[in-house]
Amino acid sequence: MKGTVIEVEGLTKSFGDLVAVKGIDLRVPEGEIFGFLGPNGSGKTTTIRMISGLLTPDSGHGTCLGYDIVTESAQIKRRVGYMTQRFSLYRDLSIRENLEFVARLYGVARPREAVRAAVERLGLEERGDQLAGNLSGGWQQRLALSASIIHEPRLLLLDEPTAGVDPQARREFWDHIHHLAADGITVLVSTHYMDEAERCHEIAYIFSGELLVRGTAEEVVARSGLTTWIVTGPGLQDLSDRLADSPGVDMVAPFGANLHVSGRDRKRLDATVAELRAAGKSHKWRRGAPSLEDVFIHLMQTRTKVAA
């Protein structure tokens, strides 16, 4: 039976008048890749920093790796790997020098052997003497990941780790993450990429500091209750404007050359679509399965309307 690596309740954090995180409850089982999703400024980083002991919550409590996030934060910091969105290693040191510095910082036994193993693990052997500042975004990302796991943490916290890197580097990075999870490392990763969310074992979606949904990607889509129609044809922007306030339509969003039209009230939405199909033949309509992105756009629009 899997243990629990992260278990927090009611985490709340304010900065002045801004309530960044509002009563977050989160439980992450051992060995999972847990995706933490939400738009920029939604509270993901603040939550991760509270979990890892870098920030003290205003209220709430919990444990990370069995240690209290408030009273035993020093124990947590020594036992987690934390990779930030911004590259934070020394640009004027080589890959090996950076890794040896981090290994010694964590008090790793036999640091040079640990560096050699880390370099081999992520395919950095031929670049070991290259200065970190001369690496591309993808290779800097690999170096940052190597540094975050060199002390063999049980938990890896990744805060928007693939921002600004190309699709191939993102794919390779996620292959490494799945290998780490297969070796027993628990991973909590924040992202706003839907394809990355679908590669997680479980996901949670945060918006304006509140946790709205959690579960597998399939569970989140199924529980949304959305019906989706996909439209192609000319003048989609005009059609989108017309649909925005139509009966049964909760969400309209362009996806390339398509328009996704979704709603919770299937009968009313289908009636609206039937009227439009009867009124003109220039657009092609087909029923589609709601995507994870449809669900999150709907959640964001719904919460934004409530706040307004």
Q: Which range marks the domain in which residue 155 is found?
A: 4-220
Please indicate, yes or no, whether residues 213 and 65 belong to a single structural domain of this protein.
yes
Same structural domain for residues 54 and 195? yes
Which own/partner pairs from 209-213 qualify as long-range (CB within 8 Å, at least 24 positions apart)? 209/19, 209/20, 209/21, 209/22, 209/24, 209/42, 209/43, 209/46, 210/22, 210/23, 210/24, 210/43, 210/303, 211/24, 211/25, 211/26, 212/299, 212/303, 213/295, 213/299
Task: Please give the pLDDT value at position 142.
Answer: 86
The pLDDT, as a whole number, for residue 1 is: 55
Please determine, for residue 204, whether its predicted confidence score (pLDDT) is greater than 90: yes
Looking at residue 39, what is its pLDDT? 86
Segment 135-156 mean pLDDT: 90
CATH code, 282: 3.30.70
Tokens of 27: 């439980």
Asked whether residue 303 is assigned to any structural domain, the reply reads no
pLDDT class of 75 with cuts at 50, 70, 90: very high
What is the average per-residue pLDDT within 121-131? Answer: 82
The answer to whether residue 294 is domain-embedded is no
Q: How much is the pLDDT for 306?
A: 58
In this structure, the answer to whether residues 215 and 264 fall within a common structural domain is no
pLDDT tier, 259 (very low <50, low <70, confident <90, very high otherwise): very high
Q: Name the residue with higher pLDDT: 308 or 225.
A: 225
User: Is residue 251 assigned to a domain?
Assistant: yes
- Asked if 283 and 166 sit in the same domain, the reply is no
pLDDT at 217: 93
pLDDT in tens, 79-89: 999 998 888 88
In the predicted model, is pLDDT for residue 194 greater than 70? yes
- Residue 308: inside a domain, yes or no? no
DSSP characters for 130-197? SBGGGS-HHHHHHHHHHHHHTT--SEEEEESTTTT--HHHHHHHHHHHHHHHHTT-EEEEEE--HHHH
In this prediction, residues 208-225 reach a mean pLDDT of 93
Same domain, 34 and 181: yes
Q: Is residue 299 in a domain?
A: no
Say whether both 230 and 204 belong to one domain: no
18-37 tens-digit pLDDT = 999 999 999 999 999 999 99
Q: How many domains does the chain have?
A: 2
In a domain, 301, yes or no: no
Average pLDDT value for residue range 253-276: 92
Residues 53 and 183 in one domain: yes
In a shared domain, residues 198 and 134? yes
Q: What is the pLDDT of residue 45?
A: 92
Q: Is the pLDDT of residue 308 over 70?
A: no
Pair 112, 161 in one domain: yes
Q: Do the domain assignments include residue 11? A: yes
